[in-house]
Amino acid sequence: MAVPHSARHWSAVESLAPGDAADLQNRRLREQLDYLAARSDFYKAKFAEHSVDVTRVRTVEDLAGLPFTEKQELRDSLAATPPLGNHVAAEAADIVQIQASSGTTGSPSYVGLTRRDIDVWSELGARALYANGFRPGDRLLHGFGMSKGFVGGIPVVQMAQYMGIVDIPIGAEAGAERLLRVQADQRPDALIGTPNFLAYPAEQAPTILGLRARDLGVRAISVGGEPGGGLPAVRGKLESLWGATSREMLGGTDIACIYWGECEAGDGMHFLSPDLMVAELIDPETDEIVAPVAGARGELVYTALRRQASPLLRFRTRDHVVVTGTDCACGRTGYKVRCVGRTDDMLIVRGINLFPSAVKQLVSELAPATTGEMRIRVDFEGHSTQKPLMLVVECSDGLGTEQQDDLRSSIEQRVRSALGVKAVVELVPDRTLARPDHVKVNLIERVS
């Protein structure tokens, strides 16, 4: 168990003067580049292809001349060199944990971790959760999904234990009633999950328990996994329902789990760890560097530092943020951001990350009974729901009633088995769903 640096900050790094933080980050960057050049077949080939001499990269500013790492490259690496791709850079004997993130085709992206990698992930998360208001000695009700190796599952448990927090790993997939029963029995003072999901059990508390959620003892809430946790209406609803502070955090599987955290000021998530990662802001249209000044917008690009098993260099996240400030009364010196969206239209269904293209792949595999065309019908706010997944699927002409019943059951079973979510399927005749020319089909159909 680690201990906090002070009453306000988990680590002294969070309040380093900008010059000192840059010196530390540049030193760690050179160490990581040397490691990649020596240990990663993926980056050896990438450096050779782009004529990169890592000895000439001395500062973070020099990264602008290096190529990005794209998500598709990692998928291709994993497919070509299973189980962890040719971007793995640690010996198999040193890898002690493998995490899986949701994949766009239904196959997860796998990330290896050494013992030191787990410690680095835990340290990154501890800084963010401490800023959110979590403290050693707290008891935490775990409202992220715990199944399928989801990064909000076991890694968050490890972060909590690293901080001296007791995690109660119930998981979103257990449902609102079970979470509320555990909250009523154990009275944990901290709560973590996606913002739209955490509002749902709070609304159900009077019916299920005969008590208001605000009377169940929660002091601090940390939300993430989808944009919107920092919106005043969303935050106000959560805080009113639970009678607790709600603060936002941000992360992702490929670099770590949680690494941005909002402090008590509540006006954006701080960059907290220049010693453990680099966060660049780029214009997603031109790929040019954007200075992180108040009001700036861009896409986050990350380079891991002190990473062993699956280190990434200039990884494009497709997370789009706005910079909300560059200083703060809390004393943290990292700039602050609010995430405003993603390139992907990811949904979170009962705590499970879900990409529409993964569902489409499963439906398409049932051709010729289906045409392959489908839509996910969304009748909820935001990106998260506790409802079953509502699918509209085109079936081919000529199917009888019994064949349609079999097809409907088959789709529902395949989605549940492959993706871990319950689906309710409506079959419609061929050519019912629009197919716009020269425009990407939006697989999500929002209805009021």
Q: Which domains does the chain have, with CATH numbers?
A: 1-264 (3.40.50.12780), 347-446 (3.30.300.30)
Give the confidence band of 184 by pLDDT, cuts at 50, 70, 90. Answer: very high
Compute CA distances 70 → 254, 301, 314, 316, whole Å: 11, 10, 9, 6
| Mean pLDDT over the full length of the chain | 91
Judge whether residue 222 has pLDDT over 70: yes
In a 13 Å sphere around the CA of 101, the CA atoms on its Cβ side amount to 19
Orientation angle between helical segments 176-186 and 195-209, nearest 10 degrees: 70
pLDDT of residue 431: 81
Judge whether residue 263 has pLDDT over 90: yes
pLDDT of residue 344: 58
Give the confidence band of 318 by pLDDT, cuts at 50, 70, 90. Answer: confident
pLDDT > 90 in the chain, percent: 71
pLDDT of residue 226: 73
pLDDT of residue 403: 94
pLDDT of residue 426: 95
Q: What backbone phi and psi angles, to 5 degrees, belong to 32?
A: -70, -40
Contacts of 3 (CB under 8 A, 6+ apart): 136, 164
Which tens digit of pLDDT belongs to each residue from 362-394? 888 898 899 888 899 988 877 788 889 999 999
How far is Cα 188 from Cα 222, in angstroms, rounded to an integer? 13
Q: What backbone phi and psi angles, to 5 degrees, belong to 200?
A: -65, -55
pTM: 0.81
Which tens digit of pLDDT belongs to each residue from 337-362? 998 776 656 788 888 878 777 788 78
pLDDT of residue 331: 97
pLDDT of residue 282: 97
Query: Can you tell me the mean pLDDT for 25-36?
Result: 98
Contacts of 342 (CB under 8 A, 6+ apart): 227, 318, 319, 320
> Between 234 and 166, where is the model more confident?
166
In which element (H, E) is residue 261 found? Answer: strand 260-262
Query: Can you tell me the mean pLDDT for 411-440?
Result: 82
Judge whether residue 207 has pLDDT over 80: yes
Judge whether residue 427 has pLDDT over 90: yes
Which tens digit of pLDDT belongs to each residue from 265-296? 999 999 999 999 999 999 988 999 999 999 99
